[in-house]
Structure 1
Amino acid sequence: MLSIVSIGLVGLPVNAQPLYPTPDPDVFYTPPAELAALKPGDVVRARKIDTGMYVGTEGWQVAFRSTNSMSKPVMGVTTVLLPIGVKNPPLVSYQALINSLGTQCNPSRSLFNGELQDAAGAMLPIGRGWAVSLPDYLGPTSAYGAARLSGMMTLDSVRAVQKVAELGLANSPVALAGYSGGGMATSWAAALQPTYAPDLKLTAAVAGGIPADLEEMALSLGFAPHPGFGLAFAAAMGLEREYPEKLPISDQLNENGLWFREFTHDACRRFLLFHGAFRNAEQMAASKSLMDSPVAREVLRQNSLRHFDGIPSVPVFMWQGRFDELTFFPPVAEVADRYCRAGARLEFRPYEIAEHMTTAVAGFADAWNYVEARFRGEPAPTTC
């Protein structure tokens, strides 16, 4: 997935500059000068929005204070859809499938511009009478690949939503849900919650298709042409945005790599997949020493659930395709085993499926039923 991230990191110059996304022109997305004075999860501002095509819903957007991977304050945004006519509904924080580099690809925009590919799935909670919050969990720089950041952004988005009195969700039971990149954000949020947000009460977390070991994914990609190279390159650029001093990748791209960086720096998932298909790292790199750097490997481990020792205190449902060639099964199974040994309440569901998105469809029906049972107060089952 991320084989390009460690290009020439030994002996790098110190002035490499990431290419950040074009800022959203809406002042709602501009952080206030006093952001650092706020606590994680504090509300910066909120506004009511027109939910348009999402019939039967009332919409709000909430800007909030969060934390990046360098422990610096950043501002996040989440979009909340409430089912009309339902008082005090349960809340699902749905971490959508973003996998992108542009601000227009985040749910606060992509829910309304056609870019959010799992928009229909994200609306399933509404049909059950639940509210849904869709955070822009990649943060203000669209740092795709920065899993720890995504977990913190997710937790702070829930904290903020519960503080907006107009939403009426202060005492609602809360579930986290997501698949693939959204599953990574969800699983990290569940694992971080006991230490990062111990004040936040969660009822359930359901996550599937989890990229649990970025280092292993990077090594497996190598230099050969790959159909998913566009997403791999995007993840490298996203991690560089989040760790500019540790991963100054752009400084080591060749002319073709710099052109592709410029071409894709505001791109969404479909664009990245189409234009990156069967390209490879060798075409982009000025050096082949891609995975030789201990610094790069450490960043990948810091964003790999397999190497994070946090244990969720919330009941968790995880599912994974046993033969998934995009997000590998063994690291997720290892995480599940560690959770069980630590006493977590986990239901782990393997599927005998290879295709990544087919597993999403197969697992989400059971995942939503799992959430509904937890909202009813039923004891969580376990496969441990």
Structure 2
Amino acid sequence: MPRNAARLLVTAVVVAMAATAAPAATAAPSTATATDTATASDPFYAYTGSEPLSSFAPGTVLKTRTLKYHLVGLPTPLKAIQLLYRTTDAQGRPSANVTTVVPSPTGGHDKAVSYQSFYDSLDPEDGPSRAIAGNVSLGGAIANAESVFVVPLLLAGYDLVIPDTEGQSADFAAGPEYGTNTLDSIRAATASAETGLDSDTRFGLLGYSGGAIATNWAAALAPDYAPEVNRKLVGFAEGGLLVDPAHNLRYVDGSVVWTGVIPMALIGVSRSFGIDLKPYLNSYGAEVYQKLEKGSIVDALGRYPGLTWKKMAKPQYADPNSVPAFVEAVNKVNLGSAPTPTVPGFIAQGNGGVWEGTFSNRPGIGTGDGVMVAGDVRALARQYCSTGNGSIAYRQFDLLSHVGVPVVWAPAAVGWLGDRFAGRTAPSDCGRIPAGNSLAPEVPAPTS
């Protein structure tokens, strides 16, 4: 990657993560339109065709529009092509979602990066497609700040595909849905005649934090869900990964900064799978739940210091595993139970979470970066090695927190992807990754 592009990437990481940390197929018939704004009532996001969505294959393009790429509401010279496409939700039902394709001014459409944003929100209005179309909101600050990632990637000749990974109901932390949304986004991008991408375009997957959830689930689901996409993938690069949500909820329980992700994850996962957790909450838990139903990470970080599951639950449900719906939900999104990706992977994880106000060591869970559990990520990497993927590179940064890691991860991840596009043999840390945690599914607590 050119040196100036690397510098821009580091700058992008700092800006985007600073925003995060502040508490505060054949195409279906369609009509092309153009607009420079996205509002709550934007009709582009609604599928209004006469045929049921189930009649279209996943990845089918339903609508197309071309607009200027916006940064904090201001149009730039970059062109963005947005696609409404058919995908599949976490319950296996057909759904519609939006992705954005940004062609590189220097590339030849032969290589593309599917960039999964860490916009982390329960409000559909905060998705990256909205920010790219010109929408400006507090919850969308992440997607707006993160937009500067496009500069170094585009300068390096990569076309970008940026899906709204959480779908149109913003199902935060619902990994399987993130994965299908991402894979069908690639299908749509290569099916559209407007993007310049086609069946010969090779793809790399890239994402951090919430973007890593989508990146890993897409890589894991691709061989069975989208084998033709899997054949185009050169690899996946990710950092700050959520592996076993039950462990993460215990890890951040009672901490200072990240406790707001507890209700956010509960809302997003239960929403995705149609699971109702509200009957198990006390009045305070119900109040927090209601406040965050359309909240973003900006609304949650640092707003609920010391929050625990126990403070939110009715007394008889003080142990979350006494709630069958909770056990069902977290087991559905445990990456340890998902298939092993068949393409090379670069996985990075911080282990300096004490700097972000999270207890440095939880019994049975260990340490992490403040929100993600390092032992879980090591265990997943080792699992991939032991189940046949010998091309896993792993890096653990013991002195860096979740916010600090991207500054060193991002240039390394883009460089790693560049080597995969160049056809160089993927490095492997298999056999050298320290032991991690058990990723076994949660077991319901015995009832009295």
Tell me the CA shift for residue 225 of structure 1.
5.5
Checking the alignment, whether the CA contact within 8 Å between 2:87 and 2:94 is kept in structure 1 is yes
- 1:50 matched to 2:68: yes
Query: 1:352 — aligned with what?
Result: 398
Query: 1:229 — aligned with what?
Result: 259
CA 1:383–1:220 in 2, change beyond 3 Å: closer, same or farther? closer
Query: 1:41 — aligned with what?
Result: 59
Give the distance between the partners of 1:71 and 1:255, measured in 2 at CA.
33
User: Superposition pairs for residues 57-72 of structure 1, below 5 Å?
Assistant: 57-72=78-93
- Percent identical among aligned pairs is 28
Gaps of 5+ in 1: 1-22
- CA deviations 1:24-66 (Å, max 9, x no partner) are 4111111245211111111111110121347452101111111
Give the distance between the partners of 1:358 and 1:352, measured in 2 at CA.
11
Aligned match for 1:25, one of 35, 41, 45: 41
Query: 1:254 — aligned with what?
Result: 282
Comparing 57-66 and 85-94, the one that deviates more: 85-94
CA 1:27–1:80 in 2, change beyond 3 Å: closer, same or farther? same
- 1:208 matched to 2:224: no
Query: 2:321 — aligned with what?
Result: 291
Tell me the CA shift for residue 299 of structure 1.
2.3
Query: 1:132 — aligned with what?
Result: 160
Checking the alignment, whether the CA contact within 8 Å between 2:82 and 2:98 is kept in structure 1 is yes
Comparing 109-118 and 199-208, the one that deviates more: 109-118
Aligned match for 1:82, one of 96, 100, 103: 103
Query: 1:159 — aligned with what?
Result: 187
Quick one: which amino acid aligns to residue 44 of structure 2?
F
Give the distance between the partners of 1:194 and 1:86, measured in 2 at CA.
28
Give the distance between the partners of 1:32 and 1:313, measured in 2 at CA.
37
Checking the alignment, whether the CA contact within 8 Å between 1:229 and 1:277 is kept in structure 2 is yes
Give the distance between the partners of 2:304 and 2:113, measured in 1 at CA.
33
Checking the alignment, whether the CA contact within 8 Å between 1:190 and 1:205 is kept in structure 2 is yes
Give the distance between the partners of 2:102 and 2:272, measured in 1 at CA.
29
Aligned match for 2:418, one of 353, 372, 376: 372
Checking the alignment, whether the CA contact within 8 Å between 1:99 and 1:231 is kept in structure 2 is no
Give the distance between the partners of 2:78 and 2:423, measured in 1 at CA.
26
CA 1:296–1:340 in 2, change beyond 3 Å: closer, same or farther? same
Checking the alignment, whether the CA contact within 8 Å between 2:173 and 2:265 is kept in structure 1 is yes
User: Superposition pairs for residues 244-323 of structure 1, below 5 Å?
Assistant: 244=274, 247-287=275-315, 288-308=318-338, 310-323=339-352
CA 1:208–1:303 in 2, change beyond 3 Å: closer, same or farther? same
Checking the alignment, whether the CA contact within 8 Å between 1:321 and 1:350 is kept in structure 2 is yes
Quick one: which amino acid aligns to residue 257 of structure 1?
G
- CA deviations 1:319-343 (Å, max 9, x no partner) are 1123423111111111111211223
Quick one: which amino acid aligns to residue 218 of structure 1?
L
**Matched residue SS, 1:203:** strand
CA 1:285–1:39 in 2, change beyond 3 Å: closer, same or farther? same
> What TM-score comes out, normalization by structure 2 length?
0.75
CA 1:168–1:354 in 2, change beyond 3 Å: closer, same or farther? same
- CA deviations 1:260-315 (Å, max 9, x no partner) are 3332222222122243344444443334242213442232122111232x111112
Give the distance between the partners of 1:351 and 1:219, measured in 2 at CA.
22
- 1:332 matched to 2:348: no
**Matched residue SS, 2:407:** helix
Quick one: which amino acid aligns to residue 370 of structure 1?
W
Give the distance between the partners of 2:324 and 2:277, measured in 1 at CA.
14
> What TM-score comes out, normalization by structure 1 length?
0.87
Tell me the CA shift for residue 183 of structure 1.
0.5
For these two proteins, the number of residue pairs brought into alignment is 358
Checking the alignment, whether the CA contact within 8 Å between 2:392 and 2:429 is kept in structure 1 is yes
